[in-house]
Amino acid sequence: MLPYFDLTGRIAIVTGGAGLLGKHHCKAIASAGGIPITVDIQGGDMQADITDRSAVERVCEDVLNQHGRIDILINNAANNPKVEDGSKALSRVENFPIDQWNDDMNVGLLGAFHCCQIFGGQMMQQKSGVILNIASDLSVIAPDQRLYKQDGIKDAEQPVKPITYSVVKTGLIGLTRYFATYYAPHIRVNALSPGGIEASQPKAFLDQIASRIPLERMANESEYEGAVVFLCSDASSYMTGQNLVIDGGRSCW
């Protein structure tokens, strides 16, 4: 491995690390020699709800007791509604529940803020560190709601990608730029905006979305690992405040 991609001994907190992509972020960190620590409401190395500031403080204390420092924070946890497989009740704008709005904002933005504040505060004391915020291609484009249309449902009742997803992911880019300058020059802060991952969605949906992506397919779940190592390592040492979009070219069309 080229030396600037080396993460040997670096302590990396990965929120939402028990989820689909979080596991791959951890694999990427470990493959470069780093030590990933998952923080997830469902368990993982440390069970914690990132919307609860005192829970994040406790995680920080525990990590410092065990490892003495924190080098990397990956803000990856979010409510991630799967519109395409109909697994979650969906809300159109006209009757969007305020509780869902608050919950999505709390996990996706307030949780990321708590982690930047607390783990970032520790990195500032160390005068070094890296923060990576996991956004989405929907941080740079609007959802194409035609993708989620289902036969036999009235237009006014068609499922849609919820507004909160776009707001959270676009908000994370603002959070990225804010902390990139606030914590400069000691901590670098960037965002990664992945396109959708193929995970047994209905074939009709896969065909539809492929037709909107220049590379003609969704991502496979390991295709962001290289970017995670790049953004968390010295390979990106002159990069901060940026949003790396990896979406098979979808947003350039």
Q: Which residues bind ligand NAD (CB under 6 A)?
A: 15-16, 18-22, 40-42, 49-51, 76-78, 80, 107, 111, 134, 136, 194, 196-197
Cβ distance to ligand NAD smaller for residue 10 or 24:
24
On the 0-12 / 13-18 / 19+ scale of CB atoms within 10 A, 149 is: middle
For ligand NAD, which is the closer residue by CB, 143 or 184? 143
Cβ proximity to ligand NAD: between 95 and 211 the closer is 211
Read off the tokens for 170: 């676009």
Nearest approach in angstroms of CB 116 to ligand NAD is: 14
Cα distances (angstroms) measured from residue 23 to each of 9, 184, 201: 19, 29, 20
Tell me how far apart the alpha carbons of residues 59 and 96 are, in angstroms, rounded to a whole number. 33
Of 7 and 172, CB closest to ligand NAD: 172
**Given the structure tokens 């990664």, which residue do they identify?**
192
The residue (of 94 and 99) whose beta carbon lies closer to ligand NAD is 99
Give whichever of 134 and 180 is closer to ligand NAD, judged by the CB atom. Answer: 134
Report the residue number whose CB is nearest to ligand NAD. 19
Rounded to whole angstroms, the Cα distance separating 136 from 127 reads 29
Residue 8 Cβ, how far from ligand NAD at the closest point, in Å?
Answer: 26
User: 36 with 88: CB under 8 angstroms?
Assistant: no
Residue 186 and residue 126: Cα distance in Å, rounded?
9
SS3 category, 249: coil
Q: Considering the complex, what minimum distance in angstroms separates the CB of residue 117 from ligand NAD?
A: 15
Side-chain-side CA neighbours of 167 within 13 Å: the count stands at 14
Closest separation between CB of residue 140 and ligand NAD, Å? 12
User: Based on CB atoms, which residue is closest to ligand NAD, 15 or 236?
Assistant: 15
- Tokens 């970032």, residue located: 120
114: left (phi over 0), alpha (psi -120 to 50) or beta: alpha
Distance CA 184, CA 239 (A): 11
**Smallest distance from the beta carbon of 135 to ligand NAD, in angstroms?**
7
d(CA 37, CA 46): 7
User: At closest approach, how far in Å is the CB of 243 from ligand NAD?
Assistant: 12
